[in-house]
């Protein structure tokens, strides 16, 4: 679950390099990898799974 | 009129569905189990990020949560946690009534718990005796468990959080909307989460062996 530089934030499309970002499998379908960069996490910007449509957080 | 000004009159101790349209068998437990535990009873303040989990405002000014969404989120969180190695799950509670539930929950699913004090550096300073490297963090309250939350952000692991109506959801990656202050509410949620994690791991719809009761999770008065 380490944020990797080649992953992108599901909400805003920015890269996930740097402190504060994370990546995890969609809580609903477990298929799609959800990326969240530090800014979107901190501001609780919603993310939407491209596979199942789940909206988090 | 904003939706938070709707006036509803009903008794304080109501154990009816409080107007939430729930069919029998739709929830993980009978609706009364949630209602008598007060899992749906929020606070008098509402954060912007929690507003879409609010079902209505009660006559006495308390925000009431949508119990179906709470139930759905408990299922999702359990599925989510079940995908991690048990000993890589860290559950924390600085909140007093959450400490016993967190301990029993962690023991039940083979996870690690820090109840009581979260020693600063536990996730970030390898020189500490308390240092561990979890892959996911479960917080009982993002406000009181701020230290753990902030360290989870530093090390880039996802966070599941019990969030009350007044909580900010910043840095929480999966919200379980609920009353995270009440003694019985916290026991009920962790009891159910424990059961559902075991069920998700077993990959079966069948009821797993689960001899624990909600009372087993309750902090002493
Ligand atoms: Zn972003
Ligand atoms: Zn999904």
CB contact under 8 A, A56 and B174: yes
The residue whose two tokens read 């799609």 is A32
B51/B154 Cα distance (integer angstroms): 27
Bridge partners for B65 per DSSP: B54
Q: Find the A55 Cα to ligand 2 centroid distance in Å.
A: 8
- DSSP state letter for B4: G
When scoring A22, A26, A47 by the number of chain B Cβ atoms within 10 A, the one with the most, hence best to mutate, is A22
CB contact under 8 A, B158 and A57: no
How many other C-beta atoms lie within 10 A of the C-beta of residue A1? Answer: 18
Contact B94, B117 (CB under 8 A): yes
Sorted by sequence, the CB contacts under 8 Å of residue A10 that are 6+ apart come out as A34, A35, A36, A47, A48, A49, A50
Per-residue pLDDT of B165-199, as tens digits, reads: 999 999 999 999 999 999 999 999 999 999 999 99
B-chain residues near A30 (CB < 8 A): 79-80, 83
ipTM for the assembly: 0.94
Q: Is B173 on the interface with A (CB under 8 A)?
A: yes
Per-residue pLDDT of B12-34, as tens digits, reads: 444 445 678 888 779 999 999 99
The residue whose two tokens read 């019990």 is B162
Per-residue pLDDT of B60-91, as tens digits, reads: 999 999 999 999 999 999 999 999 999 999 99
Per-residue pLDDT of B196-216, as tens digits, reads: 999 999 987 777 789 999 999
Contact B178, B39 (CB under 8 A): yes
The confidence score (pLDDT) of residue B18 equals: 64
Q: Provide the phi-psi class of B195: left if phi over 0, else alpha when psi is between -120 and 50, else beta.
A: alpha
Per-residue pLDDT of B87-144, as tens digits, reads: 999 999 999 999 999 999 999 999 999 987 899 999 999 999 999 999 999 999 999 9
> What confidence tier does B4 reach under pLDDT thresholds 50, 70, 90?
very low
- DSSP state letter for A47: E
CB contact under 8 A, A27 and B156: no
- Which 3 state secondary structure label does DSSP give B156? coil
Q: How far does A25 lie from chain B, in Å, by closest CA?
A: 8
CB contact under 8 A, A1 and B169: no
The residue-averaged pLDDT of B138-162 equals 98
B-chain residues near A28 (CB < 8 A): 76, 79
B-chain residues near A41 (CB < 8 A): 153, 170-171, 173
A-chain residues near B137 (CB < 8 A): none
Contact B111, B87 (CB under 8 A): yes
The confidence score (pLDDT) of residue B204 equals: 74
The confidence score (pLDDT) of residue B209 equals: 85
Q: Find the A25 Cα to ligand 2 centroid distance in Å.
A: 8
Residue ranges per structural domain of chain A: 4-56
How many other C-beta atoms lie within 10 A of the C-beta of residue B85? Answer: 11
């Amino acid at each position: 679950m380490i944020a990797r530089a080649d992953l992108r934030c599901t909400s805003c499309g920015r890269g996930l390099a740097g402190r504060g970002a994370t990546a995890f499998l969609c809580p609903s379908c477990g298929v799609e990898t959800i990326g969240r960069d530090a800014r979107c996490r901190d501001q609780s910007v919603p993310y939407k799974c491209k596979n199942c449509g789940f909206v988090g957080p | 009129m904003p939706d938070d000004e709707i006036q509803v009159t009903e008794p304080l101790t109501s154990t009816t569905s409080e107007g939430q349209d729930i069919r029998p068998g739709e929830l993980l437990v009978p609706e009364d189990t949630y209602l008598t535990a007060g899992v749906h009873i929020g606070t008098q303040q509402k954060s912007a990020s929690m507003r879409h989990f609010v079902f209505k405002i009660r006559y006495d000014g308390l925000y009431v949560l949508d119990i179906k969404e709470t139930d759905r989120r408990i299922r999702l969180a359990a599925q989510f946690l079940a995908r991690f190695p048990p000993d890589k799950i860290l559950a924390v509670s600085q909140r007093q009534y959450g400490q016993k539930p967190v301990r029993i929950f962690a023991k039940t699913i083979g996870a690690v718990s820090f109840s009581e004090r979260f020693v600063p550096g536990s996730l970030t300073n390898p020189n500490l005796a308390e240092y561990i490297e979890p892959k996911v963090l479960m917080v009982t309250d993002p406000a009181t468990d701020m230290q753990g939350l902030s360290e989870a952000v530093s090390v880039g692991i996802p966070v599941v959080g019990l969030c009350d109506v007044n909580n900010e959801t910043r840095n929480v990656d999966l919200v379980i909307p609920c009353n995270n202050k009440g003694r019985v509410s916290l026991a009920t949620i962790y009891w159910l989460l424990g059961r559902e994690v075991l069920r998700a791991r077993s990959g079966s719809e069948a009821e797993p062996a689960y001899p624990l009761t909600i009372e087993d999770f309750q902090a002493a008065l």
